[in-house]
Structure 1
């Protein structure tokens, strides 16, 4: 009851504040020439069927391709500047591995076998691994960000939410688009897309993109660029519509990232002046490649039933390294390799009646993630090889149905049953020498028996229901209340050291989130569109990774540490102040705290809290905070558009985004944790009268803010007092020219 009372109080405050803002606006019709601001005009597929955004009882942010182009967005991580409760970054030491958190729930560790807490979808295909998932804005129709647990329709590993990258469909007319860009640090982007119908029933689309940029800094040991970009991407699709009731689409995508390894910046002596420079000696070679292909088929059996099949295969490879000490010698170096592949099959039945609709289906996935890395501690002439794999077989059945009792009142109920079978293999062996035979040192000498060497299988089952009630206060204003449950699958710690922590062979259990959400969304006076929500989440059995120095190596513990409570409020809105001026904004607040956090203490005295000399678990919730979860985030932008007499137009979009202070890990690290900061951007885009030629100028991080996106902390003489941080991009300027044939 206490949770419900607090949620209701937050809702009352949000609704009252919204009413005060909305009633102050002027009621004037919007020009048809300008971008629509009505939520009802935005169509999304958040519930696996096409619906007006205003009618979806889910907190969803939908960003169109036009909006992304006007902002000059380079990749999906920039969504965090304008989306409530969202954190998106490149992983520590990576250029293209995605780390995502929504409402305090996510996963920072991209090691093979660890599942994300936010699901990523390219169209309807689930992307199980985060490598090469920092998707560049290329051939996209829109991006949807679904906040809160999506366990009913999207299943496992969407306890924080889901991000849907929706690509363009092939049009009825031939089209060709080319775009070129030049910017700071010799940035060169080239994109091209050709889409054309081959016949009345067959269409083909091919697109390719090339992204090059010098580094923001330099590796002073090797002389190579640091924080550079060298990415090639391609997409192709074939669409066949043999009749009005049948549709088939084959789509393929490929990404290759040959950007140099990203080693970070020492935050402890010796410290370099530039946050983007390093003295790493582990090497700059880095290679990431992912591929995917899918077949989607739709059959409109009748006016009320459509059957859909989605068959997909994806695989990827990663070869790289991180120099944890950021010094020329091999004090703490981590060369690594990852491989993964996944096959998935989903069948859906979509129903549409006079006053009811829904979707039901089954899902199957067979995936393998494997890899190896060395932990090189040069001062001890010691290398620890960690290798292994996780095989996952997952299947589920799901359904979600909505019934309209009246034109105003709708009720939705749904549920999903998921069964996972995971087989984990973990091997951990120490060698005398710099690097193991796996990473090129054939002369390395075995040191004792393997510290970890096991293969185990575990099964996890979960039912994730959801229910919601929606009420249309007016045709343009909808309120809803929902309750949902999501879970992230259990697994095995790929770094687990069975000598230091014997229980690692048992693996860890799933984690779950239950969320109550109250929302209000709609359009007022034809000028003000908005969505606001309050939520209260109960987070149980959280999987937390803790790494710590252990003698001459680094140990790891992954366990279900306890429970926490997450409450918050979100608002996003768009106001057409005049026919020429549109103001957009968002604000979110998150109060996240651990109720219990059972931390593993590797050694300790024999007392009532630690009865063994090997180690124990102690509740340290009062000394832990959520990572990657600022209390406040906000953004405001304005787009001023001027139409010339010849029909061309120019749009100016300045923006400011605020991000509150946040920690890199659950344990405070003053030299790594990020203080609050503002980010300022601005764009000017001119579009020709026939909508063919576009010229844009974009400035990012205009105040040249230095902000941390990740870090590592391994104190100690043997590890070189490793304390390194990774930084977001500095101030940049880019000029873009695009032409549509």
Structure 2
């Protein structure tokens, strides 16, 4: 297991203790001073349990970030939300600009290949996003974002074993509104957002719209590109997003909404930074972590489109019904240069296609001494892909003379199709006027069908004509077709099927000591679907589902409407974790055989604390800290022992202050914050890609006119220009003495992708 700097741990705990002491002293001071303006805590409403409730009455660990707080901090993309939620990782994946890596309490999914299921559920207005491609959402017309920590297997279902992130858009007011907002900033950032709404029928029918054009030059560049005429910007942004909404208020009790959204991300494929010099080229390690080399096209495209329909009927004072139907599809073309050199050592051109539909019917009932949330849910999804692992340099060197090879390509194509249906029910029952019981469960039945075709050609092969200039795919032949059944037939000829069912319970006790104090304890279970290996080279069986069992003890209290303390202690067991093992073959550097199976699992325990201090009418201080102690069970089936959980720092901490000024020129809000992440691994089987602990400092000042029509903000992020890895690739053999031997492709490929550098941007908007 990795070793951590204990001084960092002591420092984090000391800050927590000092802040708590200062908060208590400030409370006493405020109580004894008549001259201090009376502060107050904001009531925050969330829908974590699929019904509107106060944050302080929800017996789970939830962080809610509202539209005002997002604006005051200059947050424009979902990944920035990670700093507000303890023990949470939301980061842009390796190789692309819009693929999400999400982990909560050490549970998630790192590999974004089709067929693999996420461990953290992403929702837009209760619509599930099944794939990580395009899930790095840019915020447009958002009301709040909720981060639910811990398994949400009862109300939200499969693939929420780590938790869920909910993106909630703003409901229309019924008035005519129009907002235009422009942003300029570092690296030639130029953004334009337009949102608005029009009442088509007064008090009945409203039409809403939103569009964003988001552009920025790259943080770095491709210093050497093997293809002429390519855009050499690296880490750039070229994205457009649109939303259209139609809301119908048929009566006070009946509401319907039809919503459409589309996102096009044409940002370049992201080039990684070589942490080791290449053995096969003379190009030096770049001076900047944002610079790279490539032999691939730099183009990249992600297209997402979705349609949803919501109908909500308040039948009477006790009973409400809701129906949600959705259809989503996505297409991605990408070029990932794994080795990041100007040679075709290990290049992966790929495309992904997915589409899914879902239906959910929900019934909520509120009685005199109990409440009930129940529903049925159906999901039908197809996820397909194609990638070519081009090992051309190695193919020509090893096989050119004997086989006439002009290159070497491992091509994989396939689909994973999923059908699931679930029924759930959860009730909160009042035992006394202070003690209540929560009990619920969800039954899920899922069927999957998958196929994969895996072949080896002794030439450089790309997915389609003109993938690189002048390339003609034609009829590609594969002398070696890898992956056969017991009869010797390609596994493409025989799709594999498997089905699973799982009951995921939840039970909890809540004790309301008074109107401002709640204690809670709960047990919950999460279920992540079984799946087939999308890279299979043998006709292997499906991996079993993953199960997470979690226990939480929590405390939520508002102290005299001045201090809010929400603390949760948790313990979880993550069993049958799906894991990919690579078959080692030191005599054949072309080996890409990967087997998907289950390992024993892992366990974790920790604590999360979120504290808000309304120090005065104008000043608010927020502090949060998360600690997690995790361990992976030893598993003799693994050739390489696992050394720790990926993307899971032992400590995360955020300290922020917010000060409001009322002036004759308008309302100013000054915001500053420091966010710290302890050291963490990018991969569980090696510490070659270990990111040391680091902190980022952010500051903002926002302004709104007295009339409320003009507004603006100046935002400075990562002021100390910290560089931290958020993704990577490891295809180099660590010799254990600080040296590395060649891995797949015949080179020492150890690659890092990094967070955003220091930036500044200015936003100005006008509301009509």
Alignment-derived partner of residue 517 in structure 1: 552
- Gap change, CA 1:596 and 1:164, over 3 Å in 2: same
Residue of 442, 448, 453 corresponding to 2:474:
442
Q: How does 1:612-627 map to 2 (within 5 A)?
A: 620=641, 623-627=642-646
Alignment-derived partner of residue 338 in structure 1: 352
- Gap change, CA 1:350 and 1:384, over 3 Å in 2: same
**Secondary structure in structure 2 of the residue aligned to 1:561:** strand
Q: 1-side partners of 2:620 and 2:19: how far apart? A: 18
Instruction: String of CA shifts for 1:275-316, please: whole Å, max 9, x gaps.
Output: 001111111011000000001001111111111100000000
Q: Indicate if the aligned counterparts of 1:434 and 1:444 stay in contact, CA closer than 8 A.
A: no
Alignment-derived partner of residue 277 in structure 1: 291
Alignment-derived partner of residue 608 in structure 2: 570
TM-aligned CA deviation for residue 33 of structure 1: 11
Name the TM-score, length of structure 2 as normaliser. Answer: 0.88
Q: 1-side partners of 2:705 and 2:518: how far apart? A: 38
Q: 2-side partners of 1:436 and 1:71: how far apart? A: 43
Q: Indicate if the aligned counterparts of 2:325 and 2:358 stay in contact, CA closer than 8 A.
A: yes
Aligned: 1:160 with 2:162: yes
Q: 2-side partners of 1:129 and 1:544: how far apart? A: 19
Q: 2-side partners of 1:522 and 1:673: how far apart? A: 38
Q: Indicate if the aligned counterparts of 2:609 and 2:626 stay in contact, CA closer than 8 A.
A: yes
Q: 1-side partners of 2:90 and 2:115: how far apart? A: 20
Aligned: 1:555 with 2:593: yes
Alignment-derived partner of residue 655 in structure 1: 673
- Gap change, CA 1:560 and 1:580, over 3 Å in 2: same
- Gap change, CA 1:245 and 1:544, over 3 Å in 2: same
Residue of 637, 652, 664 corresponding to 2:682:
664
TM-aligned CA deviation for residue 595 of structure 1: 2.1
Instruction: String of CA shifts for 1:352-382, please: whole Å, max 9, x gaps.
Output: 1222111111000000000000011112121
Aligned: 1:221 with 2:229: no
Q: 2-side partners of 1:363 and 1:139: how far apart? A: 27
Q: Indicate if the aligned counterparts of 1:437 and 1:443 stay in contact, CA closer than 8 A.
A: no
Moved more, 77-86 or 416-425: 77-86
Q: 2-side partners of 1:327 and 1:557: how far apart? A: 28
Residue of 262, 276, 296 corresponding to 1:254:
262
Aligned: 1:639 with 2:658: yes
TM-aligned CA deviation for residue 37 of structure 1: 2.8
Aligned: 1:695 with 2:733: no
Q: Indicate if the aligned counterparts of 2:36 and 2:616 stay in contact, CA closer than 8 A.
A: no
- Gap change, CA 1:328 and 1:535, over 3 Å in 2: same
**Secondary structure in structure 1 of the residue aligned to 2:168:** strand
Aligned: 1:731 with 2:758: yes
Residue of 698, 719, 722 corresponding to 1:705:
722
Aligned: 1:242 with 2:236: no
Q: Indicate if the aligned counterparts of 2:349 and 2:463 stay in contact, CA closer than 8 A.
A: no
Residue of 552, 572, 576 corresponding to 1:537:
572
Residue of 57, 61, 68 corresponding to 2:70:
68
Q: 1-side partners of 2:70 and 2:95: how far apart? A: 27
Q: Indicate if the aligned counterparts of 2:521 and 2:552 stay in contact, CA closer than 8 A.
A: yes
Q: How does 1:177-576 map to 2 (within 5 A)?
A: 177-199=179-201, 200-222=203-225, 224-269=232-277, 270-378=284-392, 379-380=394-395, 381-436=407-462, 438=464, 440-442=472-474, 444-451=476-483, 453-454=490-491, 455-498=495-538, 505-547=540-582, 551=588, 552-576=590-614
Q: 1-side partners of 2:302 and 2:636: how far apart? A: 36
Question: Structure 1 regions of 5+ residues with no counterpart?
Answer: 1-12, 499-503, 602-617
TM-aligned CA deviation for residue 600 of structure 1: 3.7
Q: 2-side partners of 1:598 and 1:626: how far apart? A: 18
Q: Indicate if the aligned counterparts of 1:433 and 1:444 stay in contact, CA closer than 8 A.
A: no
Q: How does 1:16-27 map to 2 (within 5 A)?
A: 23-26=24-27
TM-aligned CA deviation for residue 443 of structure 1: 7.0
Q: Indicate if the aligned counterparts of 2:659 and 2:669 stay in contact, CA closer than 8 A.
A: yes
TM-aligned CA deviation for residue 490 of structure 1: 0.5
Instruction: String of CA shifts for 1:515-562, please: whole Å, max 9, x gaps.
Output: 110011121121111211000101100112344775314232222111
Q: Indicate if the aligned counterparts of 2:23 and 2:613 stay in contact, CA closer than 8 A.
A: no
**Secondary structure in structure 2 of the residue aligned to 1:243:** coil
Instruction: String of CA shifts for 1:622-680, please: whole Å, max 9, x gaps.
Output: x521000000010101112111146x11111111000000000112233x210000111
TM-aligned CA deviation for residue 242 of structure 1: 1.3
**Secondary structure in structure 1 of the residue aligned to 2:157:** coil
- Gap change, CA 1:20 and 1:704, over 3 Å in 2: closer
TM-aligned CA deviation for residue 598 of structure 1: 4.5
Q: 1-side partners of 2:584 and 2:414: how far apart? A: 21
Alignment-derived partner of residue 132 in structure 2: 130
TM-aligned CA deviation for residue 19 of structure 1: 7.7
Instruction: String of CA shifts for 1:693-715, please: whole Å, max 9, x gaps.
Output: 11110011110011000100112
Aligned length: 701
**Secondary structure in structure 2 of the residue aligned to 1:54:** helix
**Secondary structure in structure 1 of the residue aligned to 2:633:** strand
**Secondary structure in structure 2 of the residue aligned to 1:189:** strand
Moved more, 446-455 or 197-206: 446-455
Q: 2-side partners of 1:686 and 1:232: how far apart? A: 26
- Gap change, CA 1:191 and 1:599, over 3 Å in 2: farther
- Gap change, CA 1:525 and 1:33, over 3 Å in 2: closer
Q: 2-side partners of 1:730 and 1:368: how far apart? A: 37
**Secondary structure in structure 2 of the residue aligned to 1:481:** strand
Q: Indicate if the aligned counterparts of 1:432 and 1:445 stay in contact, CA closer than 8 A.
A: no
Moved more, 191-200 or 656-665: 191-200
TM-aligned CA deviation for residue 444 of structure 1: 5.0
TM-aligned CA deviation for residue 445 of structure 1: 4.3
Q: 2-side partners of 1:229 and 1:282: how far apart? A: 19
TM-aligned CA deviation for residue 81 of structure 1: 1.4
Residue of 597, 616, 628 corresponding to 2:635:
597
Question: Structure 2 regions of 5+ residues with no counterpart?
Answer: 1-13, 226-230, 278-283, 396-406, 485-489, 733-741
Q: Indicate if the aligned counterparts of 1:170 and 1:205 stay in contact, CA closer than 8 A.
A: yes
Q: Indicate if the aligned counterparts of 1:325 and 1:719 stay in contact, CA closer than 8 A.
A: no
Q: 1-side partners of 2:100 and 2:614: how far apart? A: 34
